[in-house]
């Protein structure tokens, strides 16, 4: 049985995961209309993964005697000056999500809810990987600079990253 405090914190995380999914969906739309098909596909996949993360939390809360709350979401940003700016936002967002997960883990320690603590370890590992992926992408973008040929290759190559990460990161 979840305490009300932990249930509330998990419901906050459900909202964060849902907003993450919407943010990446919006990024996918922006990339797609700017002819960046590889980046768009990567973002669509990220959006799906974030929704899966949300659903995993929803099921956990409900199975542990709580009530998962589906609330209104903050509208995501819809335009970017550059694809680099978009990926900088993605990286910063992943850092924010990691901080939120860490706070959740801290609450489970304080309340000695070791079942929820154990459940959240998957999210801790996931966030390490998400941050590393985002940082790696930003490093590649910085190498490209303003080179249009580099952008073309990056857009094509990021589709391969999507295939690899969607196999490696499976929330089921």
Q: What is the per-residue pLDDT for 166?
A: 46
Instruction: Report which of 78, 62, 70 is spatially closest to residue 15, judged by C-alpha positions.
Output: 70
Task: Please report how many Cα atoms fall inside a 13 Å half-sphere around the Cα of residue 134, on the Cβ side.
Answer: 23
Q: What is the 3-state secondary structure (H, E, C) of 25-67?
A: HHHHHHHHHCCCHHHHHHHHHHHHHHHHHHHHHHHHHHHCCCC
**pLDDT-based confidence at residue 172 (cuts at 50, 70, 90):** very low
**pLDDT-based confidence at residue 42 (cuts at 50, 70, 90):** very high
Residue 161 has pLDDT above 80, yes or no: no
**pLDDT-based confidence at residue 50 (cuts at 50, 70, 90):** very high
Q: pLDDT for 52-100, tens place per residue?
A: 999 999 999 999 999 999 999 999 999 999 999 999 999 999 999 999 9
Give the integer Cα–Cα distance in Å for 71 and 60.
17
Q: What's the fold here for domain 4-168?
A: Ferritin (1.20.1260)
Q: What is the arithmetic mean of pLDDT over 23-48?
A: 96
Q: What is the 3-state secondary structure (H, E, C) of 110-155?
A: HCCCHHHHHHHHHHHHHHHHHHHHHHHHHHHHHHHCCCHHHHHHHH
**pLDDT-based confidence at residue 31 (cuts at 50, 70, 90):** very high
**pLDDT-based confidence at residue 159 (cuts at 50, 70, 90):** confident
Alpha-carbon radius of gyration of the chain: 17
Q: What is the per-residue pLDDT for 170?
A: 47
Q: Are 20 and 71 in contact (CB under 8 A)?
A: no
**pLDDT-based confidence at residue 163 (cuts at 50, 70, 90):** very low
Distance from the first to the final alpha carbon of the chain? 22
Q: pLDDT for 113-152, tens place per residue?
A: 999 999 999 999 999 999 999 999 999 999 988 888 888 8
Among the ranges given (3-7, 40-44, 127-131, 153-157), the one the predictor scored with the smallest mean pLDDT = 153-157
């Amino acid at each position: 049985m979840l305490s009300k405090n932990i249930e509330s914190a998990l419901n906050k995380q459900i909202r964060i995961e849902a907003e993450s999914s919407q943010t990446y969906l919006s990024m996918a739309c922006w990339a797609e209309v700017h002819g960046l098909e590889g980046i768009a596909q990567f973002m669509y996949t990220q959006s799906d993964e974030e929704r899966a993360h949300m659903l995993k939390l929803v099921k956990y809360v409900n199975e542990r005697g709580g009530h998962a709350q589906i609330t209104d979401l903050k509208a995501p940003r819809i335009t970017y000056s550059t694809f680099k700016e978009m990926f900088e936002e993605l990286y910063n967002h992943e850092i924010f999500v990691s901080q939120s997960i860490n706070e959740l883990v801290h609450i489970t320690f304080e309340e000695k809810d070791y079942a929820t603590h154990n459940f959240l370890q998957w999210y801790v590992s996931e966030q390490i990987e998400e941050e590393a992926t985002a940082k790696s992408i930003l490093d590649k973008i910085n190498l490209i600079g303003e080179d249009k040929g580099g952008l073309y290759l990056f857009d094509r190559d990021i589709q391969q990253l999507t295939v690899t990460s969607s196999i490696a990161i499976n929330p089921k």
